[in-house]
Amino acid sequence: MASLDSRFSSSPPVPPFHDGDGAALSINRTIRTQGEIWLAGLANRGSAPLNPSTTARYAGALHNWIYPVLGDLPLSEVNHASLRPLVQQMFKAGLSTSTIMTYVRIVQMIVASFTDSNGEEVYPRRWHPTLVGLRGIHRSQRNAPYFSTDLVSSIIGYEKSPRERTFFIVAAASGAKSSEILSLEIGTHISPDCTTLRIRTRNSMREVDLHPAIASLLRRYIAGRTSGLLFSTRSGKSLTLANILKYHLHPALKSLGYLNQVSGKCMAGTRAFRRYRNTYLCQCDGLPERLRNYWMGRSYEPTFWQYDQILMDRAFRQAWAARCGFGFNLPREVGTGIHDSWT
């Protein structure tokens, strides 16, 4: 059984936003009011602002799930009992346990972000998952879908939007997380020849090397742009993962007859592309394990890595990227539905 307690009570992914108001403003301070303050604090932090895609995902969770149930509840009344209706509603709607845990942790972080002038929590809480109706997940029941090579090719072939199609290609060919891909900026995080992606997170930075065919396709997609997000709306704002799933990936999976063996639905998240890439690299003969871990952003031993400079050799990495390939079929042109079997 997975350790639900450790996941639920672990430190939040970002520090709480200290508004310093303290108990003076505690009257009528609701989840909705503090939630907006907390969300703005994450997006506008001077040291390490949260990725726009992650901020948008949190905002979606707040407006779609948390606010309708708890929005008008005073912070002082947020406890295990008040969270149970929210948890029950999300379970009834078919959300996964992992997603529900994430959304409950958002409530936890909002309450913790309300602090006094000394930075101390006004309403300290000690949360326990079973008391809000969450249950553990057996390893065999974890919802961790994986896309096969044929399915990745079919998804790319089905998708007609050049933007989302290219997003799926980059996700499957790089193994990067969706939040990392949606944060890529042209001219900053992408090399001029598009063979290397510079992935920056709150705690680390790595480079992911792409196969020459992927790089060529990416150059055609960028089409002379010199700045801005790689994947953006017409107004230049970041795409939201929720929209990619709702309007592109999930319809494609349904049309292709895909069935998630755990949930029983024709749905899966973009992590399935990441699992595909990791599995594919494991089958690449001779690929150094430390290079695979580096590309995938796996944890490493800092004391060892500071002496291992081979991963800083871009020519070495790119040679392996070209040798390993990517497995699935690519469209001949980014903006057409014509396909070829580049691997």
Q: Are 285 and 323 in contact (CB under 8 A)?
A: no
- pLDDT above 90 covers a percentage of the chain that reads 57
Q: What is the pLDDT of residues 222-268, one digit of tens each?
A: 998 999 999 999 998 889 998 999 999 999 999 999 988 777 788 89
pLDDT score, position 101: 87
Q: What is the pLDDT of residues 27-46, one digit of tens each?
A: 579 999 999 999 988 877 76
- pLDDT above 70 covers a percentage of the chain that reads 82
Q: How many CB atoms lie within 10 A of CB 93?
A: 10
Distance of CA 312 to the CA centre of its chain: 26
User: Which residues, in sequence order, are CB contacts of 263 under 8 Å at separation 6+?
Assistant: 94, 96, 143
Say which residue the tokens 């040679």 belong to: 319
pLDDT score, position 18: 46
Cα dihedral across residues 92, 94, 95, 97: positive or negative: positive
Q: Are 122 and 26 in contact (CB under 8 A)?
A: yes
Indicate the pTM of the whole model: 0.67
Q: Coil, strand, or helix at residue 265? A: coil
Query: Is residue 1 over pLDDT 50?
Result: no
Q: Coil, strand, or helix at residue 170? A: helix
Residue 30 main-chain phi, psi, to 5 deg: -100, 170
Supply the mean pLDDT for the chain: 84
Q: Are 275 and 146 in contact (CB under 8 A)?
A: yes
User: Which residues, in sequence order, are CB contacts of 25 under 8 Å at separation 6+?
Assistant: none
Cα dihedral across residues 279, 285, 289, 293: positive or negative: negative
